[in-house]
Structure 1
Amino acid sequence: MQEIKAFNEQRAEIYWWLSSLFAAELTDDELNKYHSPEIRSFLSGLGENPSLKEPIQVFTESLNRLQVREDAQLELSADFCDLFLKSDKHGALPYASMYIGKSGLLNDQPAQDMADLLAKHNVAVNKDLNEPADHLAIELDFLGNLIIRSNELEAEAHMNDALHEQAEFIKNYLMTWLPQFVAKCQTNDEFGFYASAAKLLEAFCQLDYTYLEGEQD
């Protein structure tokens, strides 16, 4: 049980990190940290998993290009704005309802379903993130909370139920639209930083889902 809980902490941190990438533009300080030995070591560690090797390599290459990109922070902020804050025509809006919904962005069922889930688990959304509940950053933040809360459980049966719930969330709330979102990022992110981050996210979600399914066998 302790091994699972230790691994859960790592999983939650990764989801929270990925959430932060899609929540807001990176500041100069945040961008500088990505070039630090600590972050590079963290990424190298993730890349040791065969399923993550290629996405980590592509993400790292985009970081390397950022080091020589003129006005890197401003340009990356512009990329973020063009992809995630403008129109879906030339961007990749990070809302589930843009890919699986049928009515409108703010009133669609995916946003309501996610809002209900947040309320059910009493998880508060970051007040600075003034977005509908089906925003990618909110869904990833919620998953991190779901994982870390399961570490309060002591019975193995309860932990298995929690892992199943996490697997179902990845399957039903993320993988139902994440591949389409990743494809849009690949098409519309010319520089490639956010496209590589999205691809890494998809690979990690798939890897995590496989792990969770295996833990329940």
Structure 2
Amino acid sequence: MEIKVLENSALLYKYFAESFYYPDENQVAQIQDLSLNIDESNRILFEEGIPDLQIEYSRLFVGPFKVAAPPYGSVYLEDGNKIYGDSTMDVISVYEGESLQVDLKEPPDHIAIELEFISYLIYKQIESYGEGNLELASSYFNKQLHFLNRHLAKWVDSFCDKVESESKCNFYKKLAKAVKNKVYNDLINVYSIN
């Protein structure tokens, strides 16, 4: 696989991940900086101001009452929609297998963290190619496939559908659609390569 394609994919996953964190001024600036390095067709423009994004973020993903689109995989994968179920423990195990810190502000199956993990695996694949270690690069590719199949792809459609239907904010609607398409397209491409 061409390195430039992998770099673009990793950057896009990182961009999506950052877009699912709370949109304070610093976070929005970071998202805008990242957007300068991704293909223009994948950029999602902020049509709303930061206060509107913050209100919508809280309504969709935090509460205070019913959370419109819970951003945690376990809510979609566990009986009773519980957080920190067996699927979360499996995600923790995968992260620990990569020697990654799991002491996070959010549960480890938060959409942003899972998207960021895919970005990490792609960067590790690129690094392995750069070192000439094709076996290790292949291993990171297989880890991406495994994580997409066991975790992210199992729930991202349901989550993104909720965001698209519940959001009053164009940014989050477009983000959800783009994430759903990216994961779906990557699964198709990964399967066609494997």
User: How high is the TM-score relative to the length of structure 1?
Assistant: 0.75
- Structure 1 residue 151 corresponds to structure 2 residue 151: no
- The answer for unaligned runs of 5 or more in structure 2 is none
Q: Which has the larger radius of gyration?
A: 1
Q: Which SS does the other structure have where 2:94 is aligned?
A: helix
> 5+ residue gaps in structure 1?
47-55, 67-71
**Per-residue CA distance 1:186-212 (angstroms, 9 max, x = gap):** 221012321210110110111122222
TM-fit CA distance, 1:11: 1.6
Q: 1:22 aligns with which of 9, 16, 20?
A: 20
3-12 vs 173-182, greater mean Cα deviation: 3-12
Letter in 2 for 1:124: Q
Contact 1:25 1:80 in 2 (8 A): yes
Mapped to 2, the partners of 1:32 and 1:120 lie a distance apart of 29
Q: Deviations over 1:21-76 (max 9, x none)?
A: 11222427725974x8x947844244xxxxxxxxx6xx45xx3x33xxxxx11111
Aligned runs of 1:89-104 on 2, under 5 Å? Answer: 89=66, 91-102=68-79
CA distance 1:27–1:109, shift in 2 (3 Å): same
- Kept in 1, the 8 Å contact 2:14–2:119? The answer is yes
Q: Secondary structure at the match of 1:123?
A: coil
Question: Match of 2:118, as an amino acid?
Answer: L
> Residue 165 of structure 1 corresponds to which residue in structure 2?
143
Structure 2 counterpart of 1:44: 40
State percent identity of aligned pairs. Answer: 20
- Give the Cα–Cα distance (whole angstroms) in 2 for the partners of residues 107 and 33 of structure 1: 28
Q: How does 1:20-169 map to 2 (within 5 A)?
A: 20-27=18-25, 30=28, 34=32, 39=35, 42-46=38-42, 59-60=44-45, 63=46, 65-66=47-48, 72-86=49-63, 89=66, 91-102=68-79, 105-125=82-102, 129-153=104-128, 154-169=132-147
Higher relative contact order (CA 8 A, sep 6+): 1
Residue 12 of structure 1 and its aligned partner are, at CA, apart by 1.4
- Give the root-mean-square deviation of aligned CA atoms: 2.8
Residues 97 and 143 (structure 1), Cα distance of their counterparts in 2 relative to 1, 3 Å cut: same
Q: Partner residue of 2:170?
A: 192
Amino acid at match of 1:195: K
Structure 2 length normalisation: TM-score? 0.83
